[in-house]
Chain A
Amino acid sequence: MKTLVLGVGNSILTDDGVGIEIARQLRERKPELEVIETGESGIGLLDIIVGYDKLIIVDSIITEKGKPGELYKLGVEALKPAENLSSSHGVDIATAYEIGQGLGYDMPEHVSIYAVEIEDNTTFGEKCTGEVEGRIPFIAEQIIKEERL
């Protein structure tokens, strides 16, 4: 099975870069894994993910009651917008995935999305906040176990 690990985020927006950091750790621990770090979102992801059987996305999330450093596992369907696009100027991962399917692209059959609860993704900075930073090695380990990498 051709597997891709995709670390998504912006490494100069504090915790937004956590997905990238975790992807780097996964690459270090499992050098045989195909790992891509990306600042792409939405449609741009189609350029990267087509042709794989399995896709593992590592990204950040802010939920109402979450604690920084908590890890969630989601399926792509969980990210589907309730209705329309709500005025963002990019389409989200779920919509991009659906477009890819609609256009008949060779989309990954299995998609796991790992989302790390974060604290701050709107302040410029090259390092994650303390709680999040401290959990990165543990989270990488969790993903390896869960996905049997």
Chain B
Amino acid sequence: MKKITIDPITRLEGHGKIEIFLNDEGNCERACLQIPELRGFEKFSEGRAAEEMPRITTMICGVCPTAHHMAASKALDDLWKVEPPPAAKKIRELMYNAFQAEDHILHFVFLGGPDFVVGPSAPAAERNVLGVIGKVGLEVGGKVIEMRKRMRNVLRIIGGKPVMPTCGLPGGVSKQISEDERKTIIEAGEYGVDFCQFALTLFDDVVLKNKEYVDLVTGDVYSHKTYYMGMVDENNKVNFYDGKLRVVDPDGKEFAKFKVQDYLEHIREHVEPWTYVKFSYLKKVGWKGFVDGKDSGVFRVAPLARLNASEGMATPLAQQAYEKMFEILGGKPVHSTLAFHWARLVEALYACERVLELAKDPEITSDDIVTLPTETPKEGIGVVEAPRGTLIHHYQTDERGILTKVNLIVATQNNSAAINMSVEKAAKSLIKKGNVPDGILNMIEMAFRAYDPCHACATHSLPGRTPIEVYVYDSAGNLVKKLER
């Protein structure tokens, strides 16, 4: 047996790779981002029974199993043209919001936190989750873990398992909620609301009172004037579980509002020769390359995009937080990518308030939780707002319900053009006359963390993270610098 020490860690494979091409003046001309992608899911699914999809798709993403479970369950509703009873919809939405709250808080504190809480100019060695705990105190770290534990307990109560739920059926859910369970869920919701309010105060104290950080959030480096898409309810308020997809233009004006079943009329996928990642764009505007503005079909999804694409939050405390964010950042829409972190906290508060609302709903313990399908299946489309943006599942089957075609549009694909643009913009702002500062890695990572893109995250191989390598080429195509962690 070989005993090895992996240092530097970059000897491992499975990197994200960024290639930067300089022009004759030594300035950045173009940047291309490549992230490891999983392959062959469509083929893997074809020939299986469609009812398996809510369970199988939980295994294709390391952080969003509940989002896939829910999108798949909704696609099955549509496949069998069956409407779940009201209680089943509420149970699903409750579970989904518990998941969203947990994921958002974990992201904010442990992943965004190093940039926000520790500070963008802190030494790299301190800009990690332990630095965050060092700054906010052990007690707060413990609270995050506690909130996560409670929300995961809600997922376990409803979904059967905390990580990979099994409760979604075509037409409803498999298990009702008992009175005792309702009490536990209410307590979790209350804890979550308190914690999110505390997190927003922390954000006020640590981030908004730090001029350097505010300048970075509102500055130009991470700003893109794009379209935004997100799901809204009948009052145009943010909804993660159900509703129509609404798109606003770079001025914040409604551009489209449609049922997910019509997504192909609105969303198209652009392919580039240098990556397997597809780039979603608005069909009615068209693909004009990696550029922003009203004439470019590039749009963004995920927390900030959802807040931009909506007219508010459906719960009172989150609505206050929403109004405050837009007031401080100069009105809607906000184009700064780093504001995704703030929007994530506003959404986490909404998710916890919604958990509480739904848990207190008299109907939530009803035993009328499934409508049995009677139609012959053919085609079904389901959508949810995953933490990282709009997630669409589209299935076609034969008359027995055996899958013949599967298409998934995942959140990161919707953001992929913008992620590339953010990387390029950071490179353009920092690389001048052939001088490539080491700090560029950091700037790129900050853009990354704001979007939190999916990159083969269902892979569990060690070390459990995806380092980024940056390659810089001069105008003649020679490699002039390689940066890595």
Contacts and interface: CB of A to CB of B under 8 A. Distances in A.
B290 interface: no
A93 B462 contact: yes
Given A10-B459, A16-B460, A79 B6 contact: yes
A41 B460 contact: yes
Contact of A122 (B59, B106, B459): B459
Interface string A74-105: 10001101111111111111110011001110
B124 A83 contact: yes
A59 B44 contact: no
Contact of B1 (A61, A72, A85): A72
A122 B3 contact: no
Interface residues of B, number: 71
Interface stretch (B239-247, B372-380, B396-404, B445-453): B445-453
A113 B6 CA distance: 12
Given A63-B13, A102-B141, A86 B467 contact: yes
Nearest to A59: B462
A89 B44 CA distance: 25
B183 interface: no
Given A81-B128, A82-B8, A122-B36, A91 B110 contact: yes
Contact of B464 (A87, A92, A104): A92
Contact of A88 (B39, B59, B162, B465): B465
B164 A39 contact: yes
B59 A39 contact: yes
A89 B111 contact: yes
Interface stretch (B23-31, B90-98, B142-150, B256-264): B142-150
Contacts of A16: 458-461
Contact of B485 (A11, A61, A86): A86
A4 B141 CA distance: 26
Contact of B457 (A8, A86, A89): A89
Given A41-B460, A92-B465, A93-B464, A85 B14 contact: no
Contacts of B43: 124
Contacts of A118: 461
Q: Interface extent on A, as a size class?
A: 35 or more
A128 to B, nearest CB: 13
A103 to B, nearest CB: 6
Interface string B1-37: 1111111111111101000000000000000000011
B464 A73 contact: no
Please indicate which of the listed interface residues B39, B461, B465 has the most CB atoms of chain A within 10 Å of its own CB: B461
Given A61-B461, A103-B138, A122-B37, A12 B59 contact: yes
Nearest to A17: B460
Contact of A86 (B11, B110, B466): B466
A62 to B, nearest CB: 4
A63 B420 CA distance: 27
Interface string A9-47: 111110010010000000000000000000111111011
B38 interface: yes
Contacts of A51: none
Please indicate which of the listed interface residues B56, B458, B464 has the most CB atoms of chain A within 10 Å of its own CB: B464
B62 interface: yes
Contacts of A115: 462
A105 B214 CA distance: 36
A88 B485 contact: no
Interface in B55-94: 56, 59-60, 62-63
Nearest to A118: B461
A71 B459 contact: no
Contact of B461 (A73, A103, A121): A121
Nearest to B59: A12
Contacts of B467: 86
A58 to B, nearest CB: 11
B129 interface: yes
B148 A43 contact: yes
Given A12-B44, A87-B448, A89-B107, A39 B163 contact: yes
B460 A10 contact: yes
B345 interface: no
A138 to B, nearest CB: 11
A60 B465 contact: no
B462 A64 contact: no
A19 B459 CA distance: 12
B145 A46 contact: yes
20 contacts: A10-B59, A41-B460, A47-B152, A59-B462, A61-B461, A73-B1, A78-B4, A78-B5, A78-B7, A84-B124, A85-B114, A87-B448, A89-B452, A92-B465, A93-B462, A121-B459, A122-B39, A124-B38, A124-B41, A125-B40
